[in-house]
A = this chain, B = another copy of it.
Amino acid sequence: MAEAVGFIGIGIMGKGMCNNLIKGGRSLIVWNRDTKKSEELAKAHEGKVTVCKSAAEVVQKCTLIYSCLSTLEASTAVWPEVQEALSAGKMFVDCATLTPERMAFMAGAASAKGAKFLEAPVSGSKGPAEAGQLIFLTAGDAACKEASKTDMEAMGKATFYFGADMGKGSKMKMVVNMIMGVQLNACSEGMALAEAMDLPVTDMIEILKLGAMNSPMIGLKCPTMMNKTYAPAFPLKHAQKDMRFALQMGDDVGIALPLAAASNEEYKKARQMGYADDDFSAVAEASRGANGAKKQRTS
């Protein structure tokens, strides 16, 4: 039987990942801030899950540890005890989407303690996490990458490794999310224009699906934009934050990104209109402008 591995952070993403690790034959040693989620997991997989009292305990008990905390804030709050607990031989794989700089900082700290570190942000949301269809965008320690290979195959459908340069996994994640944000915003502008000219939007979506632009995103998001149903799969404020990071990266390397810049302002406008916690497809309301729905400002 495969050795137990650690898992820190059993949220929307983490839960699906844990299920797939267990399905792949692992037993887990876990911690989550909200203990209820850890216990649910333990209950669902009897005998396979050990619940710890702290993230540090997870690190102490395992050689290979996965972490999937949802925000930079959560990650920053937990890290100090993790760092404290790391020691020679430990391997830490961080699957969160943080900044390249934060990943580099943690890798540096891990290295100072003799531990190995792999950044491994994932592309894909709740559905792919549950289905074991995530894409891992990894960079950092090669041995750590080898050690997590089978686990990533259990959790995902593809793994990319960008070499030892810490931060490249996070950078790729943000490039991809930037493209996604602009492409969705392109659809929302087209839809707002079609609506204003009294063209049938259902037909517009059908035409897009029949042509070169057909993508899962169009099938998934165009209807939510048309129907103004913005239940958050990917919260708008996070999409906008990733866009801002991408712009910052463009700034660092001196690449102008006029579309991303224009799109970032649209996401900000939607945020200002009160859609920060809705799905990022709510950028459609910014595109609709004075024709759009009005919402009380929530953030």
Quick check: is A185 within 8 A (CB to CB) of the other chain?
A: yes
Quick check: is A24 within 8 A (CB to CB) of the other chain?
A: no
Quick check: is A147 within 8 A (CB to CB) of the other chain?
A: no
Quick check: is A155 within 8 A (CB to CB) of the other chain?
A: no
Cα distance A253–B199 when bound, in Å? 12
Q: From A268, which residue of chain B is reached at the shortest CB distance? A: B256
Instruction: Give A51 Cβ to nearest chain B Cβ, in Å.
Output: 33
Quick check: is A84 within 8 A (CB to CB) of the other chain?
A: no
Taking a contact as CB atoms under 8 Å apart, the answer to whether B264 and A290 are in contact is no
Taking a contact as CB atoms under 8 Å apart, the answer to whether B183 and A260 are in contact is no
Of the candidates A218, A254, A262, the one having the most CB atoms from chain B within 10 angstroms of its own CB is A254
Name A residues whose Cβ lies closer than 8 Å to a Cβ of B: 123-124, 135, 137, 157-158, 160, 162, 165, 168, 171-172, 175-176, 178-180, 182-183, 185-187, 189-190, 192-194, 196-200, 203-204, 206-208, 210-218, 220, 240, 244, 246, 249-251, 253-266, 268-269, 271-274, 287, 289-291, 294, 297, 299
Q: A189-B258, A244-B251, A250-B268 are in contact. List 19 more A-B contacts (CB 8 A).
A: A168-B198, A168-B199, A172-B203, A175-B190, A179-B213, A180-B212, A182-B182, A182-B183, A182-B259, A183-B187, A193-B249, A193-B253, A193-B257, A196-B255, A197-B253, A256-B269, A272-B291, A273-B289, A290-B297
